[in-house]
């Protein structure tokens, strides 16, 4: 189940609002130009599916995303990929990115104005972040996350803002 918590930046310990209905979460993210959708695979998947089988199961939707969203590349990333080291600090993807969660879960935090929108993404969630959207990722103390990541420009820039350190981690939220 996807969850959205909205926090004031100055009060990271208590959410102002928590949403659990997918349509409500998508509506709340829309003014930020962030899209949340639910995607299903083209074919059933086993729990032991390989990376190639996962990519094949989502071949048509990912092809449509690449073409329609102008993304130039995609990759299957797992929680143990070197670029995903547990809890990443605030950064932005220069050309924007789309994250299709195939398995596991991750908390993606989006600072915007005086608020931080924290989206718990799980299986079948597609989160689309426009170019330059500041965010950080937290996969918890025992991460398990498999995602297809589409980008327009593979370059990522750290913001240098330590905001992520002030907010509780995924495991501390009790979700």
Q: What are the chain's domains?
A: 3-156 (2.60.120.10)
pLDDT score for 128:
96
pLDDT score for 156:
83
CA distance 171 to 107: 10
pLDDT score for 122:
92
CB 15 within 8 Å of CB 109? no
pLDDT score for 85:
56
CB 118 within 8 Å of CB 108? yes
CB 88 within 8 Å of CB 63? no
CB 146 within 8 Å of CB 100? no
CB 14 within 8 Å of CB 115? no
For the chain, which residues score pLDDT lower than 70? 82-87, 154, 175
pLDDT score for 62:
85
pLDDT score for 50:
80
By 3-state DSSP, what share of the chain in percent is helix, strand and coil, each rounded to 5?
20, 40, 40
Residue keyed to tokens 């981690």: 169
> Among candidates 135, 144, 167, 159, which has minimal Cα distance to 86?
144
CA distance 15 to 118: 9
pLDDT score for 175:
65
The pTM assigned to this predicted structure is: 0.90
Q: Which residues contact 171 (CB under 8 A, 6 or more apart)?
A: 140, 141
CA distance 27 to 38: 14
Segment 59-107, tens digit of pLDDT:
888 888 888 888 888 888 887 776 665 457 888 888 899 999 988 898 9
């Amino acid at each position: 189940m996807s969850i959205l918590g909205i926090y004031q930046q100055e009060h990271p310990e208590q959410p102002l609002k928590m949403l659990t209905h997918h349509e409500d979460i998508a509506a709340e993210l829309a003014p930020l130009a962030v899209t949340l959708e639910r995607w299903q695979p083209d074919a059933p998947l086993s729990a032991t599916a390989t990376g190639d089988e996962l990519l094949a199961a989502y071949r048509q939707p990912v092809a449509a995303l690449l073409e329609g969203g102008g993304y130039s590349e995609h990759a299957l990333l797992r929680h143990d990929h070197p670029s995903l080291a547990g809890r990443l600090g605030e950064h932005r993807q220069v050309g924007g990115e789309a994250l299709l969660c195939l398995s596991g879960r991750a908390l993606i935090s989006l600072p915007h104005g005086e608020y931080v929108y924290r989206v718990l993404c799980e299986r079948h969630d597609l989160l689309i972040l426009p170019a330059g959207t500041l965010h950080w990722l937290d996969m918890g103390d025992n991460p398990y996350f498999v995602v297809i990541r589409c980008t327009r420009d593979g370059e990522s820039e750290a913001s240098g803002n330590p905001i992520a350190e002030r907010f509780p981690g995924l495991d501390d939220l009790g979700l």
